[in-house]
């Protein structure tokens, strides 16, 4: 509610639809692999992330026009198996699917993160695509900065932290947006069968090769993925 009110007021809004849709799936099943796993396949992206010992999140890139009804459990497991090459790496540990929701990959940043005495944090301040898993991390970062600034204002009558709130948070938000955008380009080749798509796919593979082979590239990835 506050985001909508502020966006209509005096702030700038930087927004982008990345043109990609994921089906976000929660399965009542233990993780199938020991780490977060991203799979690139000509059918589209697939992802695997442990959530708890009994629950695992999976992602499948799907056509934007698909609905959750187009994806019954059996189709989800079959497609995950194809994209994650289970015939080579072993079967996925399956279980009932408790959530299947399309997620459109979007970015949306307000600037400044404030209107008069209203301060925005978390998804109200900035939306980020889940490709680099940064949204909750940014929300906690902003909440921590804002909590410190509010404490200074209320306890010591010092409003410098509040005045600097946007200036402190926005560079970190944009850095996460930039990495998230880099991840989108890493994880999604075009799905078409034409020369332009072939070229883009070759670039994607080259980027992955570089990430596999170059220590400098791995350091860049690790620093941004884990957080500065």
Where does this chain bind ligand FAD (CB under 6 A)?
1, 24, 103, 122-124, 130, 133-137, 139
Q: How many residues does the chain have?
A: 228
Q: Which residue in the shown chain puts its C-beta closest to ligand FAD?
A: 122
9 vs 143, beta carbon nearer ligand FAD: 143
Q: Which is nearer to ligand FAD, 122 or 148 (CB)?
A: 122
Name the minimum Å distance from CB 203 to ligand FAD. Answer: 26
**Residue 157, preceding bond cis, omega within 30 degrees?**
no
The H or E element spanning position 155 is: helix 135-156
Q: Dig out the tokens for 138 from the structure.
A: 């940014």
Is 134 or 188 the residue whose CB approaches ligand FAD more closely?
A: 134
| Minimum gap (Å) between residue 133 Cβ and ligand FAD | 3
Pull the structure tokens for residue 31.
């993780």
List, in sequence order, every residue forming a beta bridge with 23; answer none if it has no partner. 60, 102
Separation between Cα atoms, residue 218 and residue 210, nearest integer Å: 9
d(CA 89, CA 97): 22
Please state the closest distance from residue 53 (CB atom) to ligand FAD, in A: 17
* Residue 26 vs 82, nearer CB to ligand FAD: 26
CB of 121 to ligand FAD, least distance (A): 7
């Amino acid at each position: 509610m506050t985001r909508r009110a502020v966006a209509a007021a005096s702030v700038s809004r930087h927004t982008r639809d990345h043109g990609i849709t994921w089906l976000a799936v929660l399965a009542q099943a233990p993780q199938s692999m020991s780490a977060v796993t991203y799979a690139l396949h000509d059918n589209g992206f697939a992802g695997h992330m442990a959530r708890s010992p009994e629950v695992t999140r999976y992602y499948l890139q799907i056509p934007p026009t698909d609905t959750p009804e187009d994806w019954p459990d059996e189709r989800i497991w079959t497609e995950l198996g194809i994209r994650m090459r289970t015939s080579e790496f072993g079967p996925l540990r399956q279980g009932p699917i408790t959530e299947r929701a399309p997620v459109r990959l979007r970015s949306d940043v307000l600037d400044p993160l404030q209107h008069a005495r209203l301060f925005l944090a978390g998804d109200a301040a900035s939306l980020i695509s889940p490709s680099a898993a940064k949204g909750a991390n940014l929300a906690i970062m902003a909440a921590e900065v804002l909590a410190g600034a509010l404490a200074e204002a209320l306890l010591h009558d010092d409003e410098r932290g509040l005045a600097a709130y946007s200036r402190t948070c926005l560079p970190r938000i944009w850095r996460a947006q930039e990495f998230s955008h880099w991840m989108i380009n890493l994880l999604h080749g075009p799905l078409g069968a034409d020369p332009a798509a072939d070229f883009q796919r070759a670039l994607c593979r080259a980027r992955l090769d570089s990430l596999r082979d170059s220590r400098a590239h791995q350091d860049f990835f690790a620093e941004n993925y884990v957080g500065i």
